[in-house]
Structure 1
Amino acid sequence: MTRGLFITLEGGDGSGKTTQAELLRAWLAAEGRVVVRTREPGGTEVGVEVREIVLHHRGDITPRAEALLYAADRAHHVATVVRPALERGEVVIQDRYIDSSVAYQGVGRVLDADAVRALSDWATEGLAPDLTILLDLEAAAARGRLDEARTRYDRLEAEASEFHDRVREAYLAIADREPARFLVVDASRPVDEIAGRIRARVAGLL
Structure 2
Amino acid sequence: MVRMSHFFVFEGIDGSGKTTLSKKIVEMLPVPPNINKVWHREPTDGIYGKQIRNFLSGRIELTTKEQMDLFIKDRSESVRNVIIPNLEKHNIIIQDRYIYSTAAYQGNSTLSAEEILEINYREGFPIPNQVFFLDITPEEAAERRALRGGKSEFFDEDQKQNLIYQNYMKILPENTIFLDATQSIEDLVTAVLESIVLT
TM-score, normalised with respect to structure 1: 0.86
Residue 163 of structure 1 corresponds to 160
Residue 98 of structure 1 corresponds to 99
Residue 174 of structure 2 corresponds to 179
Please give the root-mean-square deviation of Cα atoms over the aligned residues, in Å. Answer: 2.0
Q: Matched residues in 1 for 2:116 and 2:52: separation?
A: 18
Structure 1: runs of 5+ lacking an equivalent: none
Q: Matched residues in 2 for 1:31 and 1:195: separation?
A: 19
Any idea what the Cα deviations from partners look like across 1:104-135, whole Å, max 9, x if unmatched? 1014x652223311222233x24100011000
Q: Which has the higher helix share?
A: 1
Following superposition, the deviation at residue 30 of structure 1 comes to 6.4
Q: Matched residues in 1 for 2:54 and 2:20: separation?
A: 25
1:189 and 2:190 matched? no
Residue 112 of structure 1 corresponds to 112
Residue 23 of structure 1 corresponds to 24
1:37 and 2:25 matched? no
TM-score, normalised with respect to structure 2: 0.88
Which contiguous aligned blocks of 4+ residues in structure 1 show a shift greater than 4 angstroms? none
Structure 2: runs of 5+ lacking an equivalent: none
Following superposition, the deviation at residue 57 of structure 1 comes to 4.3
What fraction of aligned residue pairs are identical, expressed as a percent? 25
Q: Matched residues in 1 for 2:110 and 2:134: separation?
A: 22
- How many residues in Structure 1 have an aligned counterpart in Structure 2? 195
Any idea what the Cα deviations from partners look like across 1:30-76, whole Å, max 9, x if unmatched? 6644111110002x533442333332342421122112211111111
Contact 2:5 2:198 in 1 (8 A): no
